[in-house]
Amino acid sequence: MNLITQIFIAFLLAIILGIIFNESISVIAPLGDLFLRLIKFIIAPLILSTLVVGVSSTGDPKQLGRIGLKTISYYLLTTAVAIIIGLGVAFLLSPGKGVDVSVSDDTAEVADQQQQSVVDTFLNIIPENPFDALASGNILQIIFFALFIGLAITFVGEKAQPVYRFFDAFAEVMYKITAIIMYVAPIGILGLVAPVIGEYGLSVLLPLLKVILAAVIACILHAVLVYSSAVKIYGKISPLSFFKGISPAALVAFSTASSAGTLPVTLKNTQENLCVPNKISSFVLPLGATINMDGTAIYQGTAVVFIAQFYGLDLSFIQLLTVVVTTVLASIGTAGVPGAGLIMLTMVLSSVNMPVEGIALIAGVDRILDMFRTTLNVVGDASATVVVAGSEKELRVDEPLKDS
């Protein structure tokens, strides 16, 4: 039985126990608190190590050339658009409204502290003392620090390889710690969800249907508007031909919810069906499996709005901007981590000082959401190969799916 199935069973068990025991089930709340503490304690070192490795492993920027620049730019731009679409659809459907859950004074006070100017927000991204940022868990400042370390390792070159190997090994250690923590996730979900159900009843679950609906609609909109336009403009391929060509990989991604596991099929489809040269697809697709998280970005957007509305918090423009920036930057370092969506959501919530406890309800339907967001990630990887190959005039002229 895999972890996702265990989490789903724990979620169902939490509902049953909450209904049966009502408020008395709150005695298991410490299990949820334990899980949250474990999640929070790995955030800072996980971001630092994975992001340093993610940036520095791309190689010398001068040698990456146009293909590397186009690929990374495309991935980051589409991720930013995805999070905006996710936020927009979530605000339209308002999945968290209608649930009466009181928020503590401390949380409300923290939310009020988010009201600051755009200039102050960007200035505060730069840490005066990076070790203070690590100690206090300031997510954006940690990301900034990690980005600069990664870039510096790349520019220094061979002499900086011991530093790179340290962070690479450190990242592997953090992956293992994360995997260990995820083993207790079902127990944590049980301790988080059951007390909420016991106190507020089944009415708190109804918005989850809206969360799923919002995520699915946003994924479809992103694919139709962004990917269709990109492959048409840069690859001169009709959107229908593109989606037909990548459909086998999309189906595998939907079934397995694993971008890495789908990579061989994605390579085959892009080379044979979309006629992208091997030299481009073999570079763009593995890189996409690392940093392209359009589906996950949409998941972040819908989840943040749901949790904010669930707790009765108003998201300011600065908070929304912070969510976009954090999601785009964190996408570089969180791909491939077990429980990446959950960890990334924790990072995003922490960056805007929102209640991390909200991840419990989202985790209950994470398997369904994961199928859709992984599919979008894989289709986005394929669209990048077409865009880059088309812009480089590398799409084969004998392409069977190309418009005449």
Write the CB contacts of 148 (distance below 8 Å, at least 6 apart in sequence).
Answer: none
| Domains recognised in the chain with CATH numbers | 3-392 (1.10.3860.10)
Q: What's the half-sphere exposure (Cβ side, CA atoms, 13 Å) at 393?
A: 0
Residue predicted with more confidence, 379 or 361:
379
The winner for highest mean pLDDT among 6-15, 126-135, 327-336 is 126-135
Q: What's the half-sphere exposure (Cβ side, CA atoms, 13 Å) at 18?
A: 24
Indicate the DSSP class of residue 316: P
Mean pLDDT calculated for residue range 166-186: 85
Number of H helices, E strands in the chain: 19, 0
3-class DSSP state of 400: coil
pLDDT the model gives residue 163: 94
Give 190: exposed, middle or buried? Use CB within 10 Å, 0-12, 13-18, 19+: buried
- Residues linked to residue 402 through DSSP beta bridges, in sequence order: 237
pTM of the model: 0.71
Query: Residue 182 above 90 pLDDT?
Result: no
Measured CA to CA, the distance from residue 295 to residue 285 in angstroms comes to 16
For the ranges 18-27, 200-209, 301-310, the lowest mean pLDDT is seen at 200-209
